[in-house]
Structure 1
Amino acid sequence: MKLVLMQPYFFPYIGYFQLMNLCDEFIVFDTVQYIKKGWINRNRILHPEGTPTYINVPIQKFKSNTLIKDILINNKENWKQSIINRLQQYYKNAPYTEEVIAFVENCLSEEFSNLSELNVRLLKETCNYLNISCRITSLSKSNFEYEDATAPDEWGLNICKALDAKTYINAPGGILFFDIDKYKEESIEIKFINPILNNYVQNYETFVPGLSILDVMMFNSVDEIQEMLLSYEEI
């Protein structure tokens, strides 16, 4: 079994979904501290002027040591309609606007008070849209036991051991602090995947890479995105 462990990002970029496309088991790592100005409650889309801008989910006030799984959404703000309105306005000339707006409306049709639970739904719905078949489980809601990590690189190791996963797939940033020997000693193969962000037509002269998957979906068919999911290199 191939396993990926990632924090629950909000409509993340295509490199995130490349990892999901490669694994059998995707564990949502929501039992660690929430960090401000990350990708948990926001991501970037393309402004009509051709520059990136943010869409975000407003959150309630929290203490500095609050875990991701305990972050609550500020539903007093009309954030859902705000996101949909901006997508409709900014992408009105994109070829797949109608389909993607309908997709987002469906994603946001349920009521959520918990940010992590919202993001898990968005990940599942996006995987369904893109025909990605991995199983998605939140670590905070899992029913398996695993050893506590004594170092940052042991979370994946211990969860792989608990689930008898033989391959652990990680984003390229992990290569800086992972002790690969720890994994070898447990007969677990570890891979680092570096995404290749191929250009696609965004209706602007300068291509802006690394935006939310929503931008990719606005300008590309599912078949085209499936090809993009395979555009990566192993480090």
Structure 2
Amino acid sequence: MLGAIMQPTYLPWCGYFDLIDSVDIFVFLDDVKLEKSSWQTRNRVKSANGEIMLTVPVSTPKGRMEAKINKTPISSHAPWRKKHLKTLVACYQKAPFFKEVFPFLEDLINQPESQLSSLNTKIIKAISHRLGINTEFVLSSELNEISGVKDERLVSICQQLGISHYLSPVGSADYLEKESPGGAVSKAGITLSYQSFTHPTYTQLYGDFDSHLAAIDLLFNCGFEQSIKLIRSGSDRGKLIS
């Protein structure tokens, strides 16, 4: 079984959804430490004046070094939902598929989620479903007897779920193979491959194309039906980098 493991991010980019679409089972790695200034709490959209960062404010009274993603509450003091939705209207109200996409996102963002992980996973699952992606989702925090850190933790998750082929983002190669080719994943007899994804280009508002924005930029400009076609056009699944 082919699987991938990733931390749940806020409004992920297109490559995140390609990774989900490429595997049989996708594990949200939600019981690890929240990284400072990470994509778990923020992402970028495009405006007439350049890129804007949408950030979910979180409460970490013991400091981010002690906070786990699934234990991180969203700050109740900042009106971030209203701010994010107002920004999306300002940025995309003239986009071709605004009327199709905005009510969908408005409903998701306005969900009364109090935890960061719950917010992110709910948004990711909903977008995936709307795109027609049928991958199975699992939370690492709901698995029993998971052990180890870094690549050893990934191995533990794979073994418990019966994942025999692990698909990793290319950016994770440095720590996966720090000690030896394939690291703990290959040593455990699990096939290791790296995602091969080329970001698709499409017509955006506001001039030249900007890559690696939140995938909602693609949704607003191209709609759900065309978006999944474009995401899949950038995926080279017959040529996984081993």
Q: Same fold (TM over 0.5)?
A: yes
Please say if residues 151 and 185 of structure 2, whose CA atoms lie closer than 8 Å, have aligned partners that are also in contact. Answer: no
- Tell me the residue number matched to 1:197: 199
In structure 2, distance between residues paired with 1:162 and 1:121: 24
Deviation at 1:218, TM superposition (A): 0.6
Deviation at 1:2, TM superposition (A): 1.5
- Tell me the residue number matched to 1:108: 109
In structure 1, distance between residues paired with 2:48 and 2:37: 23
In structure 1, distance between residues paired with 2:194 and 2:222: 26
State the identity %: 24
In structure 2, distance between residues paired with 1:25 and 1:77: 35
Please say if residues 97 and 219 of structure 2, whose CA atoms lie closer than 8 Å, have aligned partners that are also in contact. Answer: yes
SS of equivalent to 1:88: helix
Please say if residues 69 and 140 of structure 1, whose CA atoms lie closer than 8 Å, have aligned partners that are also in contact. Answer: yes
Please say if residues 97 and 221 of structure 2, whose CA atoms lie closer than 8 Å, have aligned partners that are also in contact. Answer: yes
Which string of whole-angstrom CA distances, capped at 9 and with x for unpartnered residues, describes residues 95-143 of structure 1? Answer: 011111111122124211111111111111111111111122221123x
In structure 1, distance between residues paired with 2:142 and 2:185: 25
TM-score by length of 1: 0.92
- Tell me the residue number matched to 2:9: 9
- Tell me the residue number matched to 1:158: 156
Q: CA RMSD in A?
A: 1.6
In structure 1, distance between residues paired with 2:185 and 2:37: 31
In structure 2, give the amino acid aligned to 1:215. D
SS of equivalent to 2:195: strand
In structure 2, distance between residues paired with 1:227 and 1:195: 13
- Larger CA deviation: 9-18 vs 132-141: 132-141
In structure 1, distance between residues paired with 2:98 and 2:5: 31
In structure 1, distance between residues paired with 2:171 and 2:119: 25
Deviation at 1:60, TM superposition (A): 1.6
Q: Verify: 1:33 aligned to 2:36, yes or no.
A: no
In structure 1, give the amino acid aligned to 2:230. M
Deviation at 1:85, TM superposition (A): 1.1
- Tell me the residue number matched to 1:57: 56
SS of equivalent to 1:119: helix
SS of equivalent to 1:128: helix
In structure 2, runs of 5+ residues without a counterpart are none
Change (3 A) 1:181 1:34: closer
Deviation at 1:181, TM superposition (A): 5.6
In structure 1, give the amino acid aligned to 2:168. N
Q: Verify: 1:225 aligned to 2:188, yes or no.
A: no
SS of equivalent to 1:153: helix
Please say if residues 8 and 116 of structure 1, whose CA atoms lie closer than 8 Å, have aligned partners that are also in contact. Answer: yes
In structure 2, give the amino acid aligned to 1:232. S
Deviation at 1:189, TM superposition (A): 1.4
In structure 1, give the amino acid aligned to 2:39. W
| Deviant stretches of 4+, over 6 Å | none
Please say if residues 45 and 214 of structure 2, whose CA atoms lie closer than 8 Å, have aligned partners that are also in contact. Answer: yes
In structure 1, distance between residues paired with 2:235 and 2:163: 22
1:170 counterpart (168, 172, 176)? 168
Mapping for residues 61-76 of structure 1, pairs under 5 Å? 61-62=60-61, 63=63, 64-76=65-77
In structure 1, distance between residues paired with 2:145 and 2:22: 24
SS of equivalent to 1:32: coil
In structure 1, distance between residues paired with 2:112 and 2:87: 20
In structure 1, give the amino acid aligned to 2:212. G
In structure 2, distance between residues paired with 1:193 and 1:75: 37
